[in-house]
């Protein structure tokens, strides 16, 4: 169950968003975005979101900053067949 105690922060680069819309759609499908801001100095959109994938926060605690880790799976020819991701 999603609660407002599972709040977290993460960012995604503009190039990644442009070049991988399906992966970004999958990530966003696991979150309720409650804030987003473009930071030009990092060329990324910084999000604040609620998700079951985030740790539950204690009262008064600041939201944790999460990173998105990607793992590529390849076929025998070395072609990427899938990309898995997780918040770390």
Tens-digit pLDDT profile for residues 22-34: 999 999 999 999 9
Q: How far apart are CA 53 and CA 40, in angstroms?
A: 27
Q: 32-39 and 64-65: which strand pairing?
A: unpaired
Q: Record the pTM.
A: 0.84
Report how far apart, in Å, the C-alpha atoms of 22 and of each of 19, 28, 52, 66, 77 are: 9, 10, 20, 20, 23
Cα atoms found within 13 Å of the Cα of residue 73, Cβ hemisphere only: 5
What pLDDT is attached to residue 79? 85
What pLDDT is attached to residue 1? 60
Q: What is the pLDDT of residues 36-74, one digit of tens each?
A: 999 999 999 999 999 999 999 998 899 999 999 988 889
């Amino acid at each position: 169950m999603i609660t407002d105690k599972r709040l977290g922060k993460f960012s995604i680069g503009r190039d990644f968003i442009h070049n991988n819309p399906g992966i970004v759609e999958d990530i966003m499908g696991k979150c309720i975005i409650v804030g987003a801001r473009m930071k030009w100095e990092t060329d990324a959109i910084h999000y604040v979101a609620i998700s079951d994938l985030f740790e539950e926060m204690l009262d008064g605690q600041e939201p944790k900053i999460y990173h998105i880790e990607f793992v590529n799976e390849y076929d025998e020819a070395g072609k990427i067949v899938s990309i898995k991701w997780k918040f770390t």
